[in-house]
Amino acid sequence: MENAPLSHLEPRLIAHLQTIYPHLNGKDLADKCLATFHLDPATESPRPHKNLWDQSDIMLITYADTLRRKDEAPLETLHQFVKSKLADSISAVHLLPFFPYSSDDGFSVMDYTTVNPSCGRWGHVSNLAKDFKVMGDLVINHCSSRSMWFENFKAGVDPGANFFYEADPNMDLSAVVRPRTSPLLREVQTKNGEKHVWCTFSHDQVDLNFEKPEVLLEFLRIIHLYLEKGIRWFRLDAVAFLWKIPGTSCINLPQTHEIIRLLRLMIEHYAPESVIITETNIPNQENLTYFGNANEAHLIYNFSLPPLLINSLVTGNSNHLKQWLMSMPPAQQGTTYLNFLASHDGIGLRPTEGLLSEWELETLINTMKRFGGKISSRTTPEGEAKPYEINISLWNALSGSAQQGPDQWQFARFLCAAGVMMALEGVPAFYIHSLFGTENDLERVENTGHFRSINRHIWDMEDLEHALNTPTHHQKVFNSVTKLTQIRRVQPAFHPNATQYVLHMGENLFAFWRQSLDRRQSLFAVYNMTDQPQSFSLSELNLIATDDWTDLVSEQVYEDHLGKITLMPYQFVWLANKKGRVKSTV
């Protein structure tokens, strides 16, 4: 019997810890980390560069309580809905923070170890994880000012006495990158006198101090708990801001990347099928660094996709989208992109930096305002308020064109957007409201006073069931999008790591070629990005002459490989030489 390969876990862990905490004994701290994580230092290392996904993976993004039924735990309601209506369409569920919280719809966590009773219990999460992959949020940069940790900080007792980052208000902090306009520091009265704590996002969200290894150990306990409850995918929320060094930008610092590597090392040794996703809403080139050398995030959010795709669809010009896609490096095996068009947050504008001009950005913002959107701002190092994100539902964002305003092509434009997202290299993720075509919830904005509430509607299940069972746009969106997901999930050319090559077919058409890992299936995705019919010749695609070609969307077969195709406004085709078979739901 051959000996199992020696694990390099312990020396690698020590190396990470010595880089992060050079003044501490790396071996002693490594022992504490391993004990906290219940991990044997001899645990065999997982195989590197392994794809933990395939073309069948599609994610649903949702709050635990988006769907509500009287006298039923929302997590149970969600599980029943996903299992009965989406089992053929998705493989994973991203549960946005489901813990007790004080603000920001869950992202100001009061207790990381319990489920908010208004949503359900840990048993509900574990049951969901038996049927679907579950991604949980690790809100790692900050926690609630009403948490036990912060109360302990003010009282000077553990755990929490040294958990939060403090700064001298007289220091020059002008270089700090800010995602909000609120003051960076918050004055707090403590048992040990007045202190000023660091608040990147809001004064109810106090930044944790990872310079203290006690904070790292606490989060290792939390991650271990989540693993025990069945969570295998981890979203590291706002992780780019994790480490602070006054006098710097305090974003994307080397220690932040090192901590991500350490967390990945621990998680993948405990559960080799686990996946880490970094949430870094920053300019594109900075975002790409979170892959590391295939040793940080397994997936990174494609933050530039939502604003660029929406901009293309409302202007009818795909040039910027095309140029961006051409600049994106193919992800290494074992890494890929997470593609999305909408989320609980708004449409981030920082990822358009260097991609859209100021004039184009202003046009996009004004168009979204015309469609009912709101604009959230951030403060630049110069103290200037600058647009940070557009708050709007995806349905409303695609209700018309920049030139003409609202028009009759809203549904076609909406489906075209979904068709682009599902065909691109990476794993597609649908925000639950994008499955229903949910409109702007202006009443919720008025009630909460927060612009992001516009796209955080709460559906009563009776109302949703009625909307999905009667001739409404909600029914049309749900049926059409879920049909596309079922087609997508069986095409090898849509594997997240399959080859992708951008085609040049003019500014009105957006097109690219995908080829399966085994090179057997080729697929040409061509989209009309305008409100006018557009034609192209199949000769532009260089189809393999000996193969039969079928549009997977319409099921039309194209025998004349030199013929012409005319696409109606926002129509698209997925032309494939081999057809994956959709499983019958009957």
Instruction: Let me know if 560 is a catalytic residue.
Output: no
Using CA atoms, how far residue 514 sits from 89, 187, 420, 500, 517, in Å, is: 21, 54, 12, 5, 10
The residue assigned the tokens 């701002």 is 377
Contact call for residues 205 and 143 (beta carbons, < 8 A): yes
Contact call for residues 442 and 351 (beta carbons, < 8 A): no
Radius of gyration of the chain (CA): 24
Q: How far is the C-alpha of 379 from the C-alpha of 528, rounded, in Å?
A: 38
Beta bridge partners of 194: 189
Tokens at 582, concatenated: 């959709």
Task: Determine which one of 237, 345, 441, 531 is catalytic.
Answer: 237
Determine the straight-line distance between the first and last CA of the chain, rounded to whole angstroms. 48
For residue 289, the SS3 value is helix
Using CA atoms, how far residue 575 sits from 534, 557, 580, in Å, is: 16, 9, 12
Q: What is the 3-state secondary structure (H, E, C) of 502-536?
A: EECCCCCEEEEEEECCCCCCEEEEEEECCCCCEEE
Q: How far is the C-alpha of 405 from the C-alpha of 399, rounded, in Å?
A: 8
Largest CA distance in the chain: 81
The residue assigned the tokens 């202190």 is 195
CB atoms within 10 A of CB 39: 20
249 Cβ contact partners less than 8 Å away, ≥ 6 residues apart? 175, 176, 177
Q: How far is the C-alpha of 432 from the C-alpha of 438, rounded, in Å?
A: 9
Q: Which residues are catalytic?
A: 237
